[in-house]
Amino acid sequence: MPRSWKWDAQVARPVEWSTSLYDGLLDLTPGRQPHLFGDLNLSRRRFVTVDDSVWKLYQKDISGLLNRYHIEWNDPPCLLPGGEDAKTRDGANRIYDEMDAFGVPRFGEPPIAIGGGVLHDVFGLVAGEYRRGVSWDFIGTTLVSAIDAMFALKCGVSAGWKNRVGLYHPARFSMTDARFFRTLEPHHIRDGFAEIVKIAVAGDSTLFRILEQHGPRVVAERFRSADDDSEEILSRSISWMMRELKRNPFEGETARASYLGHNISPGLEPTVTHGHAVALDIAWTSMIAWRRGLIGRYVRDRILYLIRSLGLDVWHPAMADTDRLAAHLSDTARHRGGHQRIPTPSRLGRVTYLDDVTTDELRRAVEDQHLWEAGDLRAYGSKEGSRR
């Protein structure tokens, strides 16, 4: 007679992470901010990886910061190229090799990554896998990393499809400084603002109004003025994303407002940059919302005009390949447990979730985007429909 025995176990593992916004991060001293890199009494050794373009711009400042804290680091640091092309297993393996040669232990010497969202994702994967997980710190130098990747739990690399291989392993401490943004190329600023538009449309109508009034100026100035409006844009964006992540850190709930702009956008990359793809995706869902009567023309056009005012596109020739977009939407549904869960504007600062967008509806929305971009379909200020 067959017999069996069974034992069950359930454990909870706390996950803690902290995000800070500084003004003058690279000028800090141990006297002003003694715990910037945590407790250095255990060990001052730190393995450092830097985006190579960031190193070219800030080599002296980064070295000065680490040396003021008496960090014993790998000088020169491990360098990784920026951009989606570097988001590969080969890039991760390069970091593994140099980290192992430096002799990073499992505890007590959290490595430091300094760069944008791509470096965050690749390095986070490495830190999560190396010795089955080491703590790490991150300094975000791009706008995208500051309001999205910097404090995200997700890390990974692309393998055939974008972000196909990854895990959840947030940086212990992450920090940024708007002064970094002053040296970014304009298209990188616009990429970051696409993510801020996502936040405004999905969850913060006050932020939306601030963007309408001040967004184009802040984009043009690249945060140089450091005024109350630019500071509020950053602080509201970071605060909203932190609330979203704390509520649903491991995406157990697949209806996520932060998925706005991340439905068909992977099918547009790398033809367009990530932020531009997000903006196009937001425009696409806005057209679907309008056609379904979820929003009126007035709200639809406010969203689309805001996107354009920030130097982003409402339509792009890459969208002509609707079969590719449909394939990526199908893959999105597979990733979300078999449901599309498409966040769609229902009013400014709020979304509803759709699970039944057809290929024909996808194509119609893309066509509407093209018509709107060409000057048709626009009715800014029209009283047709709701002003939600």
| Active-site annotation, residues | 154
Q: How far is residue 166's CA from residue 177's CA, in Å, rounded to a whole number?
A: 27
Q: Give the Cβ contact number of residue 369 at 10 Å.
A: 22
What tokens were used for 101? 């040669």
Which is it for the CA torsion 319, 272, 258, 124, positive or negative? Answer: positive
Following CA atoms 167, 204, 209, 197 in sequence, which dihedral angle do they give, to the nearest 10 degrees? 20
Q: How far is residue 354's CA from residue 342's CA, in Å, rounded to a whole number?
A: 5
Pairing of strands 161-168, 154-159: antiparallel
Whose tokens are 């596109």? That residue is: 313
Q: Give the Cβ contact number of residue 210 at 10 Å.
A: 19
Angle at 174 between CA 170 and CA 177, to 5 degrees: 150
Whose tokens are 């791009």? That residue is: 142
Q: How far is residue 345's CA from residue 339's CA, in Å, rounded to a whole number?
A: 18
Q: Which amino acid is at 314?
A: V
Q: How far is residue 169's CA from residue 57's CA, in Å, rounded to a whole number?
A: 28
Across the chain, where does the E strand assignment appear? 18-22, 45-46, 48-51, 72-73, 78-80, 112-115, 137-140, 154-159, 161-168, 173-177, 342-347, 350-354
